[in-house]
Structure 1
Amino acid sequence: MAFKLAFLLAVVAFASVSATTTTTVTTSVTTVSADEGEEGILSSHDRSVIRKTWDQAKRDSDVPPQILFRFIKAHPEYQKMFTKFASVPKNELMTNGNFLAQAYTILAGLNVVIQSLASQELMASQLNALGGAHQSRGATPIMFEQFGAVLEEVLAEELGSAFNAEAKSAWKNGLTALVAGISKTLKNPEDLADPQTKLSAHQVRDVQRSWENIRSGRNAMVSSIMIKLFKETPRIQKYFAKFASVPVGSLSGDAEYNKQVALVADRLDTIVSATGDKLQLLGNINYMRYTHAARSIPRSAWEDFGHLLMESLAASGVSSHDMDSWKGALDVLVNGIAPKN
Protein backbone atom coordinates (compact mmCIF):
# COMPACT_ATOMS: atom_id res chain seq x y z
CA MET A 1 0.00 0.00 0.00
CA ALA A 2 1.37 3.41 -0.89
CA PHE A 3 2.60 5.49 1.99
CA LYS A 4 0.07 8.31 2.39
CA LEU A 5 1.25 11.54 3.95
CA ALA A 6 -0.69 11.67 7.15
CA PHE A 7 -0.17 15.37 7.55
CA LEU A 8 -2.37 16.04 4.56
CA LEU A 9 -4.73 13.10 4.35
CA ALA A 10 -7.76 13.25 6.56
CA VAL A 11 -9.01 9.76 5.78
CA VAL A 12 -9.28 8.03 2.42
CA ALA A 13 -13.04 7.87 2.81
CA PHE A 14 -13.15 11.68 2.71
CA ALA A 15 -11.19 11.98 -0.53
CA SER A 16 -14.21 12.88 -2.64
CA VAL A 17 -15.36 15.71 -0.38
CA SER A 18 -15.12 19.11 -2.06
CA ALA A 19 -13.55 22.18 -0.50
CA THR A 20 -16.92 23.87 -0.03
CA THR A 21 -18.60 21.03 1.84
CA THR A 22 -19.46 21.54 5.50
CA THR A 23 -18.19 18.39 7.21
CA THR A 24 -19.95 17.10 10.33
CA VAL A 25 -19.23 14.38 12.82
CA THR A 26 -22.01 12.76 14.83
CA THR A 27 -21.37 10.94 18.10
CA SER A 28 -23.72 9.57 20.73
CA VAL A 29 -23.28 12.80 22.68
CA THR A 30 -23.05 15.70 20.26
CA THR A 31 -22.78 16.84 16.66
CA VAL A 32 -19.89 19.09 15.69
CA SER A 33 -19.72 21.11 12.50
CA ALA A 34 -16.44 22.20 10.96
CA ASP A 35 -17.89 25.66 10.30
CA GLU A 36 -19.67 26.23 13.58
CA GLY A 37 -17.42 29.07 14.71
CA GLU A 38 -15.27 27.43 17.39
CA GLU A 39 -11.69 28.61 17.74
CA GLY A 40 -10.50 25.04 17.21
CA ILE A 41 -6.73 24.63 16.94
CA LEU A 42 -6.29 28.03 15.24
CA SER A 43 -7.77 31.50 15.48
CA SER A 44 -10.63 32.30 13.13
CA HIS A 45 -8.37 34.82 11.39
CA ASP A 46 -5.66 32.25 10.66
CA ARG A 47 -8.27 29.80 9.39
CA SER A 48 -9.69 32.42 7.07
CA VAL A 49 -6.26 33.28 5.66
CA ILE A 50 -5.34 29.63 5.15
CA ARG A 51 -8.58 28.88 3.34
CA LYS A 52 -8.30 31.94 1.11
CA THR A 53 -4.70 31.29 0.08
CA TRP A 54 -5.29 27.57 -0.41
CA ASP A 55 -8.30 28.27 -2.63
CA GLN A 56 -6.04 30.45 -4.77
CA ALA A 57 -3.16 27.97 -4.92
CA LYS A 58 -5.17 24.85 -5.75
CA ARG A 59 -6.58 26.42 -8.89
CA ASP A 60 -3.26 25.55 -10.51
CA SER A 61 -3.42 21.83 -11.20
CA ASP A 62 0.37 21.66 -11.10
CA VAL A 63 0.57 22.55 -7.40
CA PRO A 64 -0.17 19.10 -5.88
CA PRO A 65 2.38 17.24 -8.08
CA GLN A 66 4.97 19.96 -7.39
CA ILE A 67 4.53 19.61 -3.63
CA LEU A 68 4.97 15.84 -3.69
CA PHE A 69 7.80 15.97 -6.24
CA ARG A 70 9.80 18.51 -4.26
CA PHE A 71 9.31 16.54 -1.09
CA ILE A 72 10.72 13.40 -2.70
CA LYS A 73 13.50 15.34 -4.42
CA ALA A 74 14.57 16.93 -1.13
CA HIS A 75 14.29 13.62 0.73
CA PRO A 76 14.82 10.80 -1.80
CA GLU A 77 14.89 8.15 0.93
CA TYR A 78 11.12 8.60 1.36
CA GLN A 79 10.29 7.55 -2.21
CA LYS A 80 10.74 3.91 -1.15
CA MET A 81 7.75 4.31 1.13
CA PHE A 82 5.49 4.88 -1.88
CA THR A 83 5.46 1.33 -3.19
CA LYS A 84 3.56 2.10 -6.41
CA PHE A 85 6.26 4.43 -7.71
CA ALA A 86 9.19 3.53 -5.46
CA SER A 87 11.45 2.65 -8.41
CA VAL A 88 10.30 5.25 -10.93
CA PRO A 89 13.18 7.54 -12.02
CA LYS A 90 12.89 11.10 -10.71
CA ASN A 91 12.66 12.55 -14.21
CA GLU A 92 9.59 10.40 -14.95
CA LEU A 93 7.61 11.05 -11.77
CA MET A 94 5.66 14.06 -13.04
CA THR A 95 4.16 11.95 -15.83
CA ASN A 96 3.67 8.75 -13.83
CA GLY A 97 0.02 7.85 -13.22
CA ASN A 98 0.54 6.43 -9.74
CA PHE A 99 2.56 9.45 -8.68
CA LEU A 100 -0.10 11.87 -9.97
CA ALA A 101 -2.87 9.85 -8.31
CA GLN A 102 -1.06 10.13 -4.98
CA ALA A 103 -0.53 13.85 -5.45
CA TYR A 104 -4.22 14.52 -6.07
CA THR A 105 -5.24 12.26 -3.20
CA ILE A 106 -3.16 14.58 -1.04
CA LEU A 107 -5.00 17.54 -2.56
CA ALA A 108 -8.38 16.06 -1.63
CA GLY A 109 -7.17 15.22 1.87
CA LEU A 110 -5.81 18.70 2.44
CA ASN A 111 -9.13 20.19 1.40
CA VAL A 112 -10.84 18.23 4.17
CA VAL A 113 -8.19 19.10 6.77
CA ILE A 114 -8.54 22.81 6.03
CA GLN A 115 -12.32 22.63 6.25
CA SER A 116 -12.01 20.79 9.59
CA LEU A 117 -9.75 23.27 11.39
CA ALA A 118 -12.61 24.92 13.30
CA SER A 119 -13.68 21.76 15.13
CA GLN A 120 -11.45 20.52 17.94
CA GLU A 121 -13.32 17.23 18.21
CA LEU A 122 -13.26 16.54 14.48
CA MET A 123 -9.57 17.39 14.17
CA ALA A 124 -8.67 15.32 17.25
CA SER A 125 -10.51 12.33 15.81
CA GLN A 126 -8.79 12.68 12.44
CA LEU A 127 -5.34 13.17 13.94
CA ASN A 128 -5.79 10.14 16.19
CA ALA A 129 -6.79 8.00 13.24
CA LEU A 130 -3.98 9.27 11.06
CA GLY A 131 -1.28 8.87 13.66
CA GLY A 132 -2.40 5.36 14.50
CA ALA A 133 -2.62 4.38 10.84
CA HIS A 134 0.86 5.62 10.00
CA GLN A 135 2.77 4.39 13.04
CA SER A 136 3.11 0.92 11.57
CA ARG A 137 4.49 2.40 8.34
CA GLY A 138 7.43 3.99 10.08
CA ALA A 139 6.20 7.57 9.89
CA THR A 140 8.01 10.05 12.15
CA PRO A 141 7.26 13.63 13.22
CA ILE A 142 10.26 14.96 11.32
CA MET A 143 8.77 13.71 8.03
CA PHE A 144 5.69 15.85 8.52
CA GLU A 145 7.81 18.85 9.50
CA GLN A 146 9.84 18.43 6.32
CA PHE A 147 6.70 18.11 4.22
CA GLY A 148 5.31 21.28 5.79
CA ALA A 149 8.47 23.18 4.85
CA VAL A 150 8.13 22.05 1.23
CA LEU A 151 4.46 23.00 1.19
CA GLU A 152 5.31 26.53 2.35
CA GLU A 153 7.94 26.88 -0.37
CA VAL A 154 5.53 25.87 -3.13
CA LEU A 155 2.79 28.16 -1.83
CA ALA A 156 5.20 31.09 -1.67
CA GLU A 157 6.25 30.57 -5.30
CA GLU A 158 2.73 29.95 -6.54
CA LEU A 159 1.06 32.88 -4.76
CA GLY A 160 3.84 35.44 -5.03
CA SER A 161 2.90 38.68 -3.28
CA ALA A 162 -0.34 37.11 -2.00
CA PHE A 163 1.74 34.92 0.26
CA ASN A 164 2.59 37.88 2.46
CA ALA A 165 3.72 38.03 6.09
CA GLU A 166 0.14 37.49 7.27
CA ALA A 167 -0.27 34.38 5.13
CA LYS A 168 3.13 33.00 6.13
CA SER A 169 2.26 33.42 9.80
CA ALA A 170 -1.14 31.73 9.42
CA TRP A 171 0.29 28.75 7.53
CA LYS A 172 3.17 28.39 9.96
CA ASN A 173 0.72 28.31 12.86
CA GLY A 174 -1.45 25.80 11.07
CA LEU A 175 1.40 23.51 10.10
CA THR A 176 2.88 23.65 13.59
CA ALA A 177 -0.44 22.72 15.20
CA LEU A 178 -1.13 19.87 12.78
CA VAL A 179 2.35 18.38 13.02
CA ALA A 180 2.18 18.58 16.82
CA GLY A 181 -1.20 16.87 16.84
CA ILE A 182 -0.13 14.05 14.55
CA SER A 183 3.17 13.58 16.39
CA LYS A 184 1.28 12.84 19.59
CA THR A 185 -0.70 10.10 17.92
CA LEU A 186 2.06 8.26 16.06
CA LYS A 187 1.46 5.18 18.13
CA ASN A 188 -0.37 1.89 18.06
CA PRO A 189 -4.17 2.10 17.79
CA GLU A 190 -4.62 0.57 21.25
CA ASP A 191 -2.61 3.47 22.69
CA LEU A 192 -4.97 6.09 21.28
CA ALA A 193 -7.34 7.60 23.83
CA ASP A 194 -11.03 7.46 23.04
CA PRO A 195 -12.21 11.06 22.38
CA GLN A 196 -15.07 10.71 24.88
CA THR A 197 -13.88 8.41 27.65
CA LYS A 198 -10.26 9.66 27.39
CA LEU A 199 -9.05 6.10 27.96
CA SER A 200 -7.02 3.94 25.61
CA ALA A 201 -7.55 0.23 25.04
CA HIS A 202 -4.33 -0.63 26.84
CA GLN A 203 -5.34 1.42 29.89
CA VAL A 204 -8.65 -0.41 30.04
CA ARG A 205 -6.88 -3.76 29.75
CA ASP A 206 -4.35 -2.91 32.48
CA VAL A 207 -6.98 -1.65 34.92
CA GLN A 208 -9.35 -4.57 34.43
CA ARG A 209 -6.60 -7.18 34.63
CA SER A 210 -5.05 -5.84 37.81
CA TRP A 211 -8.46 -5.30 39.40
CA GLU A 212 -9.44 -8.89 38.76
CA ASN A 213 -6.50 -10.01 40.90
CA ILE A 214 -7.62 -7.99 43.94
CA ARG A 215 -11.39 -7.53 43.57
CA SER A 216 -12.22 -10.34 46.02
CA GLY A 217 -10.77 -8.17 48.79
CA ARG A 218 -12.36 -4.94 47.60
CA ASN A 219 -14.54 -4.41 50.70
CA ALA A 220 -11.57 -4.54 53.04
CA MET A 221 -9.61 -2.23 50.75
CA VAL A 222 -12.42 0.34 50.55
CA SER A 223 -12.97 0.23 54.31
CA SER A 224 -9.29 0.90 54.92
CA ILE A 225 -9.38 3.82 52.48
CA MET A 226 -12.48 5.37 54.03
CA ILE A 227 -11.15 5.13 57.58
CA LYS A 228 -7.86 6.77 56.50
CA LEU A 229 -9.86 9.44 54.69
CA PHE A 230 -11.98 10.20 57.75
CA LYS A 231 -8.93 10.32 60.01
CA GLU A 232 -7.06 12.68 57.71
CA THR A 233 -10.10 14.86 56.91
CA PRO A 234 -12.77 14.41 59.63
CA ARG A 235 -15.25 16.75 57.95
CA ILE A 236 -15.73 14.26 55.09
CA GLN A 237 -17.36 11.80 57.49
CA LYS A 238 -20.09 14.40 58.09
CA TYR A 239 -21.37 13.82 54.55
CA PHE A 240 -22.52 10.34 55.66
CA ALA A 241 -25.45 11.14 57.92
CA LYS A 242 -26.08 7.54 59.06
CA PHE A 243 -22.69 7.21 60.75
CA ALA A 244 -21.50 10.83 60.86
CA SER A 245 -21.16 10.76 64.67
CA VAL A 246 -19.67 7.29 65.05
CA PRO A 247 -16.07 7.44 66.31
CA VAL A 248 -13.62 6.46 63.58
CA GLY A 249 -12.24 3.71 65.79
CA SER A 250 -15.70 2.12 66.03
CA LEU A 251 -16.67 2.34 62.35
CA SER A 252 -15.62 -1.20 61.43
CA GLY A 253 -18.32 -2.53 63.76
CA ASP A 254 -21.07 -0.18 62.59
CA ALA A 255 -23.72 -1.78 60.36
CA GLU A 256 -24.53 1.39 58.40
CA TYR A 257 -20.87 2.04 57.76
CA ASN A 258 -20.34 -1.49 56.45
CA LYS A 259 -23.34 -1.11 54.15
CA GLN A 260 -21.73 2.03 52.73
CA VAL A 261 -18.40 0.26 52.30
CA ALA A 262 -20.07 -2.56 50.37
CA LEU A 263 -21.95 -0.03 48.23
CA VAL A 264 -18.76 1.88 47.36
CA ALA A 265 -16.81 -1.30 46.69
CA ASP A 266 -19.52 -2.66 44.39
CA ARG A 267 -19.81 0.66 42.57
CA LEU A 268 -16.07 0.69 42.01
CA ASP A 269 -16.27 -2.87 40.73
CA THR A 270 -19.07 -1.90 38.34
CA ILE A 271 -17.15 1.08 36.98
CA VAL A 272 -13.99 -0.94 36.40
CA SER A 273 -16.04 -3.58 34.58
CA ALA A 274 -17.59 -0.85 32.42
CA THR A 275 -14.34 0.84 31.36
CA GLY A 276 -14.29 -1.11 28.10
CA ASP A 277 -17.85 -0.08 27.19
CA LYS A 278 -18.11 3.62 26.38
CA LEU A 279 -21.84 3.99 26.99
CA GLN A 280 -21.79 2.04 30.25
CA LEU A 281 -18.77 3.91 31.58
CA LEU A 282 -20.14 7.36 30.77
CA GLY A 283 -23.53 6.32 32.13
CA ASN A 284 -22.00 5.22 35.44
CA ILE A 285 -19.96 8.40 35.76
CA ASN A 286 -23.00 10.57 35.01
CA TYR A 287 -25.01 8.61 37.58
CA MET A 288 -22.33 9.15 40.22
CA ARG A 289 -22.20 12.85 39.44
CA TYR A 290 -25.98 13.21 39.60
CA THR A 291 -26.51 11.25 42.81
CA HIS A 292 -23.73 13.04 44.68
CA ALA A 293 -24.48 16.59 43.53
CA ALA A 294 -27.07 17.13 46.29
CA ARG A 295 -24.49 16.37 48.98
CA SER A 296 -22.10 19.04 47.65
CA ILE A 297 -19.11 16.78 48.23
CA PRO A 298 -16.05 18.80 47.15
CA ARG A 299 -13.73 17.68 44.39
CA SER A 300 -10.90 17.47 46.93
CA ALA A 301 -12.65 14.57 48.69
CA TRP A 302 -12.76 12.57 45.45
CA GLU A 303 -9.13 13.41 44.77
CA ASP A 304 -8.13 12.26 48.27
CA PHE A 305 -10.06 9.02 47.81
CA GLY A 306 -8.24 8.50 44.50
CA HIS A 307 -4.83 9.06 46.09
CA LEU A 308 -5.57 6.58 48.87
CA LEU A 309 -6.88 4.06 46.36
CA MET A 310 -3.63 4.38 44.40
CA GLU A 311 -1.67 3.72 47.60
CA SER A 312 -3.77 0.64 48.34
CA LEU A 313 -3.34 -0.68 44.80
CA ALA A 314 0.42 -0.30 45.02
CA ALA A 315 0.45 -2.03 48.41
CA SER A 316 -1.58 -4.86 46.86
CA GLY A 317 1.17 -5.53 44.33
CA VAL A 318 -0.17 -3.70 41.27
CA SER A 319 2.77 -3.07 38.91
CA SER A 320 4.08 0.43 38.18
CA HIS A 321 2.99 0.05 34.54
CA ASP A 322 -0.57 -0.76 35.58
CA MET A 323 -0.48 2.03 38.14
CA ASP A 324 0.03 4.53 35.31
CA SER A 325 -3.12 3.22 33.67
CA TRP A 326 -5.00 3.42 36.97
CA LYS A 327 -3.95 7.03 37.36
CA GLY A 328 -5.42 7.85 33.96
CA ALA A 329 -8.63 6.00 34.75
CA LEU A 330 -9.04 7.71 38.13
CA ASP A 331 -8.45 11.12 36.54
CA VAL A 332 -11.31 10.38 34.14
CA LEU A 333 -13.54 9.29 37.02
CA VAL A 334 -12.80 12.29 39.25
CA ASN A 335 -13.10 14.77 36.39
CA GLY A 336 -16.43 13.23 35.40
CA ILE A 337 -17.94 13.18 38.89
CA ALA A 338 -16.54 16.50 40.13
CA PRO A 339 -15.34 18.63 37.19
CA LYS A 340 -12.91 21.43 37.86
CA ASN A 341 -14.52 24.86 38.05
Structure 2
Amino acid sequence: MGYKKDSTDEGGTNQAENILGQPRRILFQALQIMADYDMILKHWGPVEADYSTYGNLVLTRLFTEHPETQKLFPKFVSIPHGDLAGNAAVSAHGATVLKKLGELLKAKGNHAAILKPLSNSHATKHKIPINNFRLISEVIVKVMAEKAGLDGAGQQALRSVMAVVIADMDANYKELGYAG
Protein backbone atom coordinates (compact mmCIF):
# COMPACT_ATOMS: atom_id res chain seq x y z
CA MET A 1 0.00 0.00 0.00
CA GLY A 2 1.44 3.36 -1.00
CA TYR A 3 0.98 6.57 0.91
CA LYS A 4 -0.36 9.68 -0.74
CA LYS A 5 1.36 12.89 0.17
CA ASP A 6 -1.76 14.16 1.91
CA SER A 7 -3.11 10.91 3.39
CA THR A 8 -3.86 11.06 7.09
CA ASP A 9 -4.67 8.47 9.71
CA GLU A 10 -7.80 8.48 11.86
CA GLY A 11 -6.27 11.00 14.27
CA GLY A 12 -5.48 13.42 11.45
CA THR A 13 -1.73 12.77 11.56
CA ASN A 14 0.09 12.66 8.25
CA GLN A 15 1.08 9.01 7.68
CA ALA A 16 4.32 9.97 5.95
CA GLU A 17 5.28 11.95 9.07
CA ASN A 18 4.56 8.88 11.20
CA ILE A 19 6.84 6.77 9.04
CA LEU A 20 9.64 9.35 9.02
CA GLY A 21 9.15 10.39 12.64
CA GLN A 22 10.54 7.18 14.12
CA PRO A 23 13.89 7.29 12.28
CA ARG A 24 14.21 10.99 13.10
CA ARG A 25 13.55 10.29 16.76
CA ILE A 26 16.14 7.49 16.77
CA LEU A 27 18.66 9.75 15.03
CA PHE A 28 18.00 12.53 17.55
CA GLN A 29 18.47 10.11 20.45
CA ALA A 30 21.73 8.83 18.95
CA LEU A 31 23.01 12.39 18.47
CA GLN A 32 22.00 13.28 22.02
CA ILE A 33 23.81 10.31 23.54
CA MET A 34 26.93 11.19 21.51
CA ALA A 35 26.74 14.73 22.88
CA ASP A 36 26.36 13.23 26.36
CA TYR A 37 29.54 11.19 25.94
CA ASP A 38 31.41 14.27 24.71
CA MET A 39 30.18 16.36 27.64
CA ILE A 40 31.31 13.75 30.18
CA LEU A 41 34.67 13.23 28.50
CA LYS A 42 35.34 16.99 28.71
CA HIS A 43 35.38 16.54 32.51
CA TRP A 44 37.11 13.15 32.58
CA GLY A 45 40.68 14.53 32.55
CA PRO A 46 41.02 15.08 36.31
CA VAL A 47 39.65 11.59 36.98
CA GLU A 48 42.01 10.03 34.45
CA ALA A 49 44.95 11.94 35.93
CA ASP A 50 44.30 10.48 39.39
CA TYR A 51 42.27 7.29 39.18
CA SER A 52 43.37 6.15 42.65
CA THR A 53 42.15 9.25 44.48
CA TYR A 54 38.87 9.43 42.59
CA GLY A 55 38.42 5.68 42.87
CA ASN A 56 38.87 5.84 46.62
CA LEU A 57 36.39 8.71 46.86
CA VAL A 58 33.83 6.73 44.86
CA LEU A 59 34.13 3.45 46.78
CA THR A 60 34.38 5.12 50.19
CA ARG A 61 31.23 7.09 49.45
CA LEU A 62 29.46 4.03 48.04
CA PHE A 63 30.27 1.98 51.15
CA THR A 64 29.31 4.85 53.45
CA GLU A 65 26.03 5.77 51.75
CA HIS A 66 25.11 2.16 50.99
CA PRO A 67 26.79 -0.03 53.64
CA GLU A 68 25.24 -3.19 52.21
CA THR A 69 27.45 -2.83 49.12
CA GLN A 70 30.65 -3.26 51.13
CA LYS A 71 29.57 -6.83 51.89
CA LEU A 72 29.80 -7.64 48.17
CA PHE A 73 33.58 -7.09 48.31
CA PRO A 74 35.09 -9.85 50.48
CA LYS A 75 38.45 -8.09 50.79
CA PHE A 76 36.77 -4.92 52.11
CA VAL A 77 34.21 -6.42 54.50
CA SER A 78 36.34 -6.06 57.61
CA ILE A 79 37.54 -2.50 56.92
CA PRO A 80 35.85 -0.03 59.29
CA HIS A 81 34.16 2.88 57.50
CA GLY A 82 36.57 5.30 59.14
CA ASP A 83 39.54 3.49 57.56
CA LEU A 84 38.22 3.27 53.99
CA ALA A 85 39.57 6.64 52.83
CA GLY A 86 43.15 5.71 53.67
CA ASN A 87 43.04 2.14 52.44
CA ALA A 88 45.33 1.37 49.49
CA ALA A 89 43.29 -1.67 48.39
CA VAL A 90 40.12 0.45 48.22
CA SER A 91 42.00 3.05 46.15
CA ALA A 92 43.38 0.37 43.81
CA HIS A 93 40.01 -1.24 43.22
CA GLY A 94 38.36 2.15 42.77
CA ALA A 95 41.01 2.97 40.18
CA THR A 96 40.20 -0.27 38.35
CA VAL A 97 36.50 0.62 38.33
CA LEU A 98 37.12 4.11 36.94
CA LYS A 99 39.62 2.91 34.32
CA LYS A 100 36.99 0.51 33.01
CA LEU A 101 34.40 3.30 33.06
CA GLY A 102 36.85 5.45 31.10
CA GLU A 103 37.11 2.71 28.46
CA LEU A 104 33.33 2.52 28.26
CA LEU A 105 33.00 6.30 27.93
CA LYS A 106 35.65 6.50 25.21
CA ALA A 107 33.87 3.73 23.29
CA LYS A 108 30.89 6.12 23.00
CA GLY A 109 28.26 3.40 22.97
CA ASN A 110 30.26 0.91 20.93
CA HIS A 111 30.96 -0.98 24.15
CA ALA A 112 29.75 -4.54 23.63
CA ALA A 113 33.28 -5.98 23.52
CA ILE A 114 34.11 -4.20 26.79
CA LEU A 115 30.81 -4.81 28.54
CA LYS A 116 30.29 -8.49 27.72
CA PRO A 117 33.24 -9.85 29.77
CA LEU A 118 32.55 -7.32 32.54
CA SER A 119 28.92 -8.45 32.73
CA ASN A 120 29.99 -12.08 32.65
CA SER A 121 32.42 -11.75 35.58
CA HIS A 122 30.07 -9.62 37.66
CA ALA A 123 27.14 -11.99 37.08
CA THR A 124 28.82 -15.39 37.30
CA LYS A 125 31.84 -14.86 39.53
CA HIS A 126 31.14 -11.84 41.75
CA LYS A 127 27.31 -12.13 41.78
CA ILE A 128 26.79 -8.35 41.81
CA PRO A 129 23.11 -7.38 41.54
CA ILE A 130 22.41 -4.93 38.72
CA ASN A 131 21.02 -2.34 41.15
CA ASN A 132 24.50 -1.89 42.61
CA PHE A 133 25.59 -0.41 39.28
CA ARG A 134 22.81 2.15 39.64
CA LEU A 135 24.04 2.97 43.14
CA ILE A 136 27.68 3.38 42.13
CA SER A 137 26.65 5.39 39.06
CA GLU A 138 24.90 7.94 41.23
CA VAL A 139 27.93 8.10 43.53
CA ILE A 140 30.17 8.71 40.50
CA VAL A 141 27.85 11.53 39.39
CA LYS A 142 28.13 13.15 42.84
CA VAL A 143 31.92 12.78 43.04
CA MET A 144 32.39 14.18 39.54
CA ALA A 145 30.12 17.11 40.36
CA GLU A 146 32.03 17.91 43.53
CA LYS A 147 35.59 17.19 42.41
CA ALA A 148 35.73 17.38 38.60
CA GLY A 149 33.37 20.31 38.01
CA LEU A 150 30.62 18.33 36.28
CA ASP A 151 27.71 20.77 36.03
CA GLY A 152 23.99 19.94 36.07
CA ALA A 153 23.84 19.19 32.34
CA GLY A 154 26.94 17.01 32.65
CA GLN A 155 25.43 15.17 35.58
CA GLN A 156 22.31 14.45 33.55
CA ALA A 157 24.49 13.34 30.63
CA LEU A 158 26.38 10.93 32.89
CA ARG A 159 23.12 9.55 34.27
CA SER A 160 21.82 9.03 30.71
CA VAL A 161 24.99 7.29 29.55
CA MET A 162 25.11 5.10 32.64
CA ALA A 163 21.45 4.15 32.15
CA VAL A 164 22.35 2.85 28.68
CA VAL A 165 25.40 0.97 29.97
CA ILE A 166 23.42 -0.56 32.84
CA ALA A 167 20.56 -1.56 30.52
CA ASP A 168 23.08 -3.31 28.28
CA MET A 169 24.65 -5.02 31.30
CA ASP A 170 21.21 -6.10 32.46
CA ALA A 171 20.53 -7.61 29.02
CA ASN A 172 23.83 -9.49 29.28
CA TYR A 173 22.89 -10.66 32.78
CA LYS A 174 19.59 -12.01 31.43
CA GLU A 175 21.39 -13.85 28.61
CA LEU A 176 23.53 -15.50 31.28
CA GLY A 177 20.45 -16.41 33.30
CA TYR A 178 21.45 -14.18 36.21
CA ALA A 179 18.51 -12.35 37.73
CA GLY A 180 20.77 -9.90 39.59
Question: Do the two structures share a fold, i.e. TM-score over 0.5?
Answer: yes
Correspondence for 1:302: 133
Give how far 1:219 is off.
Answer: 2.4
Give how far 1:247 is off.
Answer: 1.1
**Aligned pair in 2 of structure 1 residues 232, 204: CA closer, same or farther (>3 Å)?**
closer
Give how far 1:213 is off.
Answer: 4.5
Structure with more helix by fraction: 2
Q: For residue 275 of structure 1, what is the amino acid of its counterpart?
A: K
Correspondence for 1:202: 35
The 10-residue stretch of structure 1 (171-180 or 248-257) with the greater mean CA deviation from structure 2 = 171-180
Q: For residue 299 of structure 1, what is the amino acid of its counterpart?
A: I
Correspondence for 2:118: 288
Correspondence for 2:77: 244
The alignment partner of 1:252 has SS state of coil
Give how far 1:225 is off.
Answer: 1.9
| CA distance in structure 2 between the partners assigned to 1:259 and 1:312 by the alignment | 17
Give how far 1:180 is off.
Answer: 4.7
The alignment partner of 2:50 has SS state of helix
The alignment partner of 2:84 has SS state of helix
Say if 2:19 is the partner of 1:178. Answer: yes
Correspondence for 2:52: 219
Q: For residue 200 of structure 1, what is the amino acid of its counterpart?
A: I
**Aligned pair in 2 of structure 1 residues 263, 213: CA closer, same or farther (>3 Å)?**
closer
**Aligned pair in 2 of structure 1 residues 258, 322: CA closer, same or farther (>3 Å)?**
closer
The alignment partner of 1:268 has SS state of helix
Match of 1:232 among 40, 65, 73: 65
**Aligned pair in 2 of structure 1 residues 259, 314: CA closer, same or farther (>3 Å)?**
closer
- 1:298–1:338 contact (8 Å) kept in structure 2: no
- 1:193–1:201 contact (8 Å) kept in structure 2: yes
**Aligned pair in 2 of structure 1 residues 299, 173: CA closer, same or farther (>3 Å)?**
farther
> Structure 2 unaligned runs (5+)?
none
The alignment partner of 2:54 has SS state of helix
| CA distance in structure 1 between the partners assigned to 2:57 and 2:166 by the alignment | 20
Correspondence for 1:333: 165
| CA distance in structure 2 between the partners assigned to 1:285 and 1:323 by the alignment | 22
- 2:48–2:99 contact (8 Å) kept in structure 1: no
TM-score, normalised with respect to structure 1: 0.43
Match of 1:151 among 3, 7, 10: 7
Give how far 1:297 is off.
Answer: 1.4
Q: For residue 303 of structure 1, what is the amino acid of its counterpart?
A: R
**Aligned pair in 2 of structure 1 residues 212, 237: CA closer, same or farther (>3 Å)?**
same
Correspondence for 1:314: 145
Give how far 1:205 is off.
Answer: 1.8
| CA distance in structure 2 between the partners assigned to 1:234 and 1:204 by the alignment | 30
Q: For residue 181 of structure 1, what is the amino acid of its counterpart?
A: Q
Runs of 4+ in structure 1 deviating by more than 4 angstroms, as ranges, are: 171-174
* CA deviations over 1:210-234 (Å, ceiling 9, x no partner): 2124421332222122112112222
Give how far 1:174 is off.
Answer: 9.4
The CA RMSD over aligned residues, in Å, is: 3.1
Give how far 1:292 is off.
Answer: 0.3
Correspondence for 1:266: 99
> Structure 1 unaligned runs (5+)?
1-53, 59-63, 69-149, 153-167
Give how far 1:173 is off.
Answer: 9.0
Q: Which is bigger in relative contact order (C-alpha 8 A, separation at least 6)?
A: 2
| CA distance in structure 2 between the partners assigned to 1:239 and 1:335 by the alignment | 21
Give how far 1:310 is off.
Answer: 0.9
The alignment partner of 2:94 has SS state of helix
